Amino acid sequence: MPELELRFDNVKKNYGDKQALRGVSFTLNEGIYGLLGPNGAGKSTLLNILTGNLPATSGQIFLGGEDVAKMGRRFRAKLGYMPQQQTLYPGFTCERFLYYIASLRGMSKARTKERVAELLHLLALEEVRKKPTRALSGGMKQRLLLAQAMLDDPDILVLDEPTAGLDPRQRIVVRNLIASVALHKIVLLSTHVVPDVEYIARELVLIGDGEVVCQDTPQNLCQGMEGQVWDVEIPESDLDQMGQYGLVSSLRRSGSGVAVRLIADAPPPYPSRTVEPTLEDVYLHTFGDEGGL
């Protein structure tokens, strides 16, 4: 079976005069891809275009060389989507909701029964399967939405903030679940939580201001920043001056002074040592100069 390939070709989206996407091009193959970027960078717009919830102003998306717009239902049959908002019918039980999604996807009853049981078990929703979705906690709703996205075992899984609202243990379970099902799939995972994709993503796509800033493996991205991340010991009174030497990634109290993690091309004029870069450092380095929050 040939490897799946999803290619975005110069995809643009304008809202009036505002350009939300300025010609996004990148290619995804089987594996997990993290879509990282600040708020308003165009991540959700890109996912909405991919899932057919928003038309692109121009550009195309190809799956295995075929335009997805022309594939229509054949493409949608391969797609599973978990949106950022908790989109559920409050009067439906968990089980009914999954059966409803199965009916929309044209799944057989036998297969639906099997998949629903499996996913409810995997996502620890068995006990609440008969409860209306309005009675679920935020974390349960999130897991139910993940279950509906994975219901038909789609080739392309699009997950928008899948771990939002989950406690640390659930977050690890969901992360591992995504990793385990992604063997022969394309999983595009949009998140703000960098550790979620740090260990499982094949590649990261960093998107900012409607453009792809870079696309690479987490290791390469981190390697590219080696020698630019510093652990600096400074007196508390000099803290305000650190901004002129680079970006402050984090800081903590250390003895009589403050230990600052600094991202800078050159070492600052304080006692310092280079440290191993993380994806958070990469993120900050890439998007840190976009100002404010």
Partner 1 sequence: MKWELRKLWGSPMLVVLALMLCLANGWLYYDHATAGNFPPMATLYTRSTQELEDMEEELLERGRYGTEIYDDTLLTGDIYQESRLVGDTLERIRAVEEFPQTMAQLQAQARAKLNTGLFGTGDSFETRSLRLTDGVYETVRQVQPQVCFFGGVETLLDYRLADVFGVLLALAAALALFAQEREQGTLCLLHPTLRGRLSLYRDKGLALGAAVLFLALVLYGTCLGISAGLYGLGDLSLPVQSVYGLTACPYLLTVGGFLALFFALKLLWLLALAGLFALLANALRSSASLVAAVLLLGLSFALGTLPSHLAQSLNLLGLGDTYRLFDGLLFLNFFGLPVARLHATLGVCGVLLAGSVAGAGALFVRRSPVTAARRSPAGLSLGCHVHPMGHEGYKLLCSNGALLVLLLLVAVQVLSYRDFSGPQGPKETYYRQYSSVLSGPPSQEKASYLAQQEEKLEQIQQQLAQLQASAQDSPWLIHEIGELAQKLEAREPLNQAKTQYEALTSSQSYIYTTPYELLYDAGGQAANRIDLAKLLLSLSLYLPFFFSMERETGVGVLIETAGASRDVMRRKRLVAWLFALVCTAAAFLPRIVAVYQNYGLPELTAQANSLARFAALPDVLPLWGVLALTMALWGLVACVGCVVVEAVSAKVRSPLPAALLCVLVLPGLTLLVFPL
Q: How far from chain centre, in Å, is Cα 273?
A: 32
Does position 156 interact with partner 1 (CB under 8 A)? The reply is no
Amino acid at 60: Q
Does position 109 interact with partner 1 (CB under 8 A)? The reply is yes
190 three-class SS: strand
Are 61 and 48 in contact by the 8 Å Cβ rule? The answer is: no
Q: Which stretch binds partner 1 (CB under 8 A): 20-28, 103-111, 241-249, 272-280?
A: 103-111
Q: Which two tokens stand for residue 218?
A: 């987490």
| Residue among 57, 93, 170, 272 that touches partner 1 (CB under 8 A) | 93
Q: How far from chain centre, in Å, is Cα 111?
A: 29
Does position 103 interact with partner 1 (CB under 8 A)? The reply is yes
75 three-class SS: helix
| Residue among 16, 65, 108, 289 that touches partner 1 (CB under 8 A) | 108
Amino acid at 203: E
Cβ within 8 Å of residue 40, ≥6 positions away: none
What mask of x and - would describe binding to partner 1 in positions 128 to 147, judged by CB under 8 A? --xxx-xxxx----------
Residues facing residue 33 across a β-bridge: 188, 203
Q: Which stretch binds partner 1 (CB under 8 A): 104-112, 174-182, 253-261, 271-279?
A: 104-112
Considering only residues 55-74, where is the footprint of partner 1 by CB under 8 A?
72-73
Does position 243 interact with partner 1 (CB under 8 A)? The reply is no
Q: Which stretch binds partner 1 (CB under 8 A): 14-22, 97-105, 221-229, 269-277?
A: 97-105
Closest distance to partner 1 from the beta carbon of 72 (Å): 7
Does position 257 interact with partner 1 (CB under 8 A)? The reply is no
What does the CA dihedral 133, 186, 40, 291 come to, rounded to 10 degrees?
Answer: 120
C-alpha–C-alpha distance, residues 43 and 192, integer Å: 11
Which residues of the chain form contacts with partner 1 (CB under 8 A)?
51-53, 72-73, 76-77, 79, 81, 83, 85-93, 95-96, 99-105, 107-109, 112-113, 130-132, 134-137, 148
